[in-house]
Structure 1
Amino acid sequence: MKTNDGERNGQNVPTQIDIFIFQKDVKPVHDKPKVYSLHVKTDIKYRYAITLITSRVVNPANVSQEVKFHVVLPETAFISGFVMTINEKDYPAYVKEKEEAQKDYNLAVSQGLAAAHIAHSARDSNEFDVAVNIEPLNKVSFELIYEEFLERKLSAYKNEINISPGQVDEGYFVHFYSDDTLKPLNKHVVFVLDLSGSMHGRKLQQVKDAMNQILSDLKPKDYFSLVLFSDSSKVLQISE
């Protein structure tokens, strides 16, 4: 601020005031894209599993925005399909060289167009990064399909599903805790002990010390069984 002084009754008084206003550019704040639906479905037939991940995202802002997902597949699984749906029209994905695919996606993002890109998080890993650019005030849904042959381990088949929407669901989150007020359940523990020649000496004494401590921690209503094995095996009876 600058002033020019004049004289009035022998006193200096301001006759002109110049005010300089400095304006700072502030970037507008937009509502971030939101996942409003996430659904995972797996069909298993004859030990072959096909998993479909369907996600629906809305962009509430009046500018195009990008949303990213991190997908973790089972170790032996592979992606067999990816489809993005915009305004009820399906756009299936196709494979390109890494640099070419990234270049095409960046071009679409710079133009504010809807586009999607999938790439490995790391070489030879089962983790993928999915990037989806959503047009202003629009909704997008995409379907990711992966397949795997389930292997039998310990007489059972295991199908793993990883879910990571990347956001808190309506302000809620999962918290696991142990309630100290609940009474412990009665246990039935089976101990399998190796009594072969390789356990002679110090190793066998360590087993005895460990069993003394473990058995002393059991509650009066708990049950336990002992299975001993060497060149053969047997269940130890209480009478023995």
Structure 2
Amino acid sequence: MAVESGQAAAHVAVSARDSNRFTVSVNIEPQSKATFYLRYEELLARQNEKYEVVLNIHPGQPVKQLDVEVHIDESRPLKFVKAPSLRSGNEISKNDEKLDPLADINIVNETSAVVKFSPDIKRQKQLANDLGAKEENGLSGQFVVQYDVERDPQGGEVLVDGGYFVHFFAPTDLPALPKQVVFVLDTSGSMQGIRITQLKEAMNSILSELNKDDVFNIVEFGTIVKVWNVERVEIQYESGVDDYWSFATETPEFGSITKK
């Protein structure tokens, strides 16, 4: 159909082992322009009281016109819409003013919104540098849009389509269930520098989600495997306004982690 209309056809492939990665193959003439339209469906899972749309941007070089638009259309009123700091990968998200995408958020009506991200070449190079990449390779990171909708605390929401229905029910006043967690941490020599720093940041972030009734253990592996010995490690938990865990691992290179 594309060839009959005077357009070229491309082949889109998806790896079975990496289903979130698309490969587009097409032959074009030298010095010509190509526009790709890719339509797909993605299930957004609501986590930590929000939906999150993550778009990977890797043009390979600074481009004159880089436009990203996210259109949100929901059946219930929007509670909030925001575009947090750009990410370099799957690291723990945190606010960084230097990586603020300065996105344009337009609330169309109570159930719809449009988020636009259009950095010029200068801004692309600046963001590439702040993300730890080379400026000549252009922006290489993740643009994220987060939002949530108003929910009925009584009966939730029921959607009906084609003879099927789904019932969304997300109570907010239920107590958290106790968790049993085992952390497997790579503390080998290859983790020196920024990697061990990111590991500490991730552990601090995860520990902030634990409650006093949660149980956790630690397995460190490097040249050998070490299982955390509770008899040799100091641990404290104090409840109050600022609950915190405090403990130190047996590996000096890893140091200590404190949840405050």
Query: Which of structures 1 and 2 has the bigger CA Rg?
Result: 1
TM-score for the superposition, normalised by structure 1? 0.32
Point out the structure with the larger strand share.
1
